[in-house]
Structure 1
Amino acid sequence: AKDISERMQVQERLQHMAHHDALTDLPNRNLFLDRLQQALIRARHHDRLVAVMFMDLDRFKNINDTLGHNTGDQLLLQLSERLKHSVRDGDTIARFGGDEFAILLDDVDNENSIAAVAQKLLQTLSEPFHVNSHELFITASIGIAIFPHDGDDPDTLLRNADVAMYRAKELGKNNYQFYSDDMSARNFERLTLENHLRHALARQQFVLYYQPQVDARLDRIVGVEALLRWQHPELGLVSPSNFIALLEETGLIEDVGKWVLETACRQSKNWHDAGFDDLQMSVNISSRQFNNTEFIDVLHDTLDRTGVNPECLELELTESMLMRQASSVVTALKSLNELGVRFAIDDFGTGYSSLSYLRRFPIETIKIDRSFIRDITDDPDDAAITRAIVVMARNLSLKVIAEGVETEKQLAFLEENDCHLIQGFYYSPPVPVAEMTALLEKQGRRND
């Protein structure tokens, strides 16, 4: 009898494991599809609505990449508990793997009641999570498909909810969207773009444009920022806003990032050899690149192959990249700094903006985000923030570059407040290498 009881317990456990997620113990895809099929049968019989939600966590990969998978798993556990308390007892929340969840709302009255649940789910995630001494914030994008309007079988409903979820991400994340027919065409365009993007590097369709960084006191270009562009044979020059996020989502950002780094370093060496030996080259580094354990080796090899002067290379990082795992970042930056390269904080003021942390990192430059510069002559708050950043930077012996400078009034304000390094359309938009070279030739070499 004991053996039979143990066998039954094992069978029950195996049955449970076959239908539930190993980490969160939520229903898995198989159980979700089974419950959805049963819900559709009931809905047809009683002429009722069934809603399927597809939820994807926004930027969850950044947490795994910067804080490790253990922290990511603990966050998923806490998040799952919150989600379970955000729906009715008869509804189902399932984890499909990774950062993807599906929600089944059985027997609902109308779109308003569905929207109320979606809003509650987003609100549930708005409070911070405390994991392994970290305070973490996470948002989600939710797509919604409704039976019978958006499909009459589980596969169609899930597919259309997924399409609506991607639309929510396109609209800025942290929102929900109901499926509509026009989304399918939009999703097809996105998939087509993604497919083209996967071939772009091999087909040499990426190019670098360069935007000057000007010392306004000397009216002289002292640096350039390398900016990625996609020259598609049919679509023309594709805006970065249309493909950078796709590079991140697909993981292609690491290979493309290597190409950007090497191409920028080779061009920097070319300009130095041509006599512009005081020119600084700034290159943006993604979170995935920076947190790759091989990045130091990649950078070292790139410097060796290209022969560029490391002291003329500046890597731009964001505030959030520095702060997510500060102690390990300090170690990594110091190792990279030993190679001779310099570091800048990009978009300063939009992230953590803790003045004290700057002393911990071997940072030489901060770049004031363009959102503060845009209304600097009209908005007292933006003006005050900019002044404070400049004063703080001077006290810490840091260089300051103002991004997004477009008007003479903005330039005058910045110069009056001791910010003389300028980047923006006032001087020049990002331009191809030939035009950038022409601008350098026009101003002449330092010793001319």
Structure 2
Amino acid sequence: MLYFQPIVTAKEGRIRGFEALLRWRHPARGFVSPADFIPLAEETGVIIPLGEWIIREACRIAATWPGEVSVAVNLSPIQFRHSDLPLLVRSALRESGLAATRLELEITESVFLEATPAIHAMLTTLREMRVRLSLDDFGTGYSSLSYLRRIAFDKIKIDQSFVRDLPHERSGAAIVRAIVDLATGLDMTITAEGVETEAQRLCLLHQGCHEFQGYLFSKPVPALEAGILAAKRDLPERPHAA
């Protein structure tokens, strides 16, 4: 099933969109961690049909939200090697009626390890379709600044590993500042993941981040609850991280 975690504007704290997150509820074991089953799905190739279902389902659900609320979907590097992503995305958008500009595809830096002409062509086609592209977990993998010159990403997501020890860790704050400066210069949106405390929020706001995502604002919620939040656009009283 899909759960959805709100992504909020940094200054107003209003919901701008949601990230779709895959959940597996086993009949005997209960909820199984994605860290356990996603690598297995990638190893066995199940991630291909599973990834197709995720894109179609996320688009279908997001189409029921107000027109300005977007949905972000994570892509596995394997999907770039073994599926026709532009064709799949075009089909999912057509079937759901969701505007292409409301779909955001999150791509990890590991894709750059196989930055073949075919992958570059896929990303270029998706851009031409007006789908938004987001570089996920920036700075934790195989950062390729030269690739940012070739593909116009709309967003950079700062990994929670750089957020976790803010505002006390100076090196983390310096890295965040550098990423913000880079993204701002390239006209990209900056989203900070894993925001769990008010001190982190204030530090990231001061550094210039545009959007926040994390337990300070909301945990991932089922589709029905996400729809209610999307209609309101304002979150209820902020919960604290568990």
Q: Give the Cα–Cα distance (whole angstroms) in 2 for the partners of residues 398 and 420 of structure 1.
A: 10
Map 1:51-62 onto structure 2 (within 5 A): none
Q: How does 1:160-309 map to 2 (within 5 A)?
A: 207-271=1-65, 276-309=66-99
Is this contact kept in 2: 1:322–1:329, CA < 8 A? no
2:125 to 332, 335, 338: 335
Deviation string, structure 1 residues 150-207 (Cα, Å, up to 9, x no partner): xxxxxxxxxxxxxxxxxxxxxxxxxxxxxxxxxxxxxxxxxxxxxxxxxxxxxxxxx1
Counterpart CA distance in 2 for 1:339 and 1:417 is 32
Matches within 5 A, 1:317-328: 317-328=107-118
In the TM superposition, what whole-angstrom CA distance separates every residue of 1:318-359 from its partner, at most 9, and x where no partner exists? 112034225443222111222221110110011222333212
Kept in 1, the 8 Å contact 2:135–2:155? The answer is yes
Matched position secondary structure for 2:63? helix
Deviation at 1:212, TM superposition (A): 0.4
CA distance in 2, matches of 1:326, 1:382: 32
1:307 and 1:292 map into 2 onto residues whose CA distance is 26
Q: Which structure has more helix as a fraction of its residues?
A: 1
* SS at structure 1 position matched to 2:220: coil
Q: Gapped runs of 5+ residues in structure 2?
A: 235-242
Tell me which moved more, 282-291 or 220-229. Answer: 282-291
Q: State the number of aligned residues.
A: 234
Aligned: 1:426 with 2:220: no
> Are residues 1:367 and 2:161 paired?
no
Equivalence for 1:121: none
d(CA) in 2 for partners of 1:323 and 1:360? 15
The structure 2 residue matched to 1:379, chosen from 166, 169, 193, is 169
User: Take 1:441 and 1:401, find their aligned partners in 2: how far apart are those partners?
Assistant: 22
Comparing 375-384 with 259-268, greater Cα deviation is found at 375-384
Residues 26-45 of structure 1: pairs in structure 2 closer than 5 A? none
Distance 2:194 2:133 in 1: 20
TM-score under structure 1 length normalisation: 0.51
**Percent of aligned pairs sharing the same letter:** 45
Superposition deviation, residue 217 in structure 1:
1.2
Bigger RCO (CA 8 Å, 6+ sep): 2
* Distance of 1:225 and 1:305 partners within structure 2: 20
1:439 deviation in Å? 2.2
Q: Distance in 2 between matches of 1:230 and 1:391?
A: 38
Rate the CA distance shift 1:326–1:369 in 2: closer, same or farther, 3 A: farther
Q: CA offsets, 1:20-65, max 9 Å, x none? A: xxxxxxxxxxxxxxxxxxxxxxxxxxxxxxxxxxxxxxxxxxxxxx
The amino acid that maps onto 1:325 is A
Q: Which residue of 1 aligns with 2:104?
A: 314
Q: 2:196 aligns with which of 406, 409, 413?
A: 406
Contact (CA 8 Å) 2:64, 2:227: kept in 1 or not?
Answer: no
CA distance in 2, matches of 1:442, 1:293: 37
Partner of 1:62: none
Larger radius of gyration, structure 1 or 2?
A: 1
Paired residue secondary structure (2:187):
coil
2:147 is aligned with what amino acid?
Answer: Y
Aligned counterparts of 1:365 and 1:323: Cα–Cα separation in 2: 20
Alpha-carbon distance in 2 for matches of 1:329, 1:368: 23
Partner Cα separation in structure 2 for residue 307 and residue 225 of structure 1? 19
Instruction: Letter of the 1:430 partner, please give it.
Output: P
Alignment partner, residue 344 of structure 1 = 134
Q: Distance in 1 between matches of 2:209 and 2:22?
A: 27
Q: Is the 8 A contact 1:282 1:313 kept in 2?
A: yes
Tell me the amino acid that sits aligned with residue 26 of structure 2.
Answer: H
In the aligned structure 2, how far is the partner of 1:298 from the partner of 1:354? 27
Q: Which residue does 1:110 correspond to in 2? A: none
- Give the aligned residue type for 1:265: C
CA-based RMSD of the aligned residues comes to 1.5
Q: Does the 8 Å CA contact 2:85/2:122 hold for their aligned counterparts?
A: no
Aligned equivalents of 1:408 and 1:303: distance in 2?
A: 37
Which amino acid is 1:306 matched to?
S
Output the CA distance in 2 between the equivalents of 1:230 and 1:377: 34
Deviates more, 1:432-441 or 1:323-332: 323-332
How far apart are the structure 2 equivalents of 1:442 and 1:338?
Answer: 32
8 Å CA contact 2:69, 2:230 repeated in 1: no
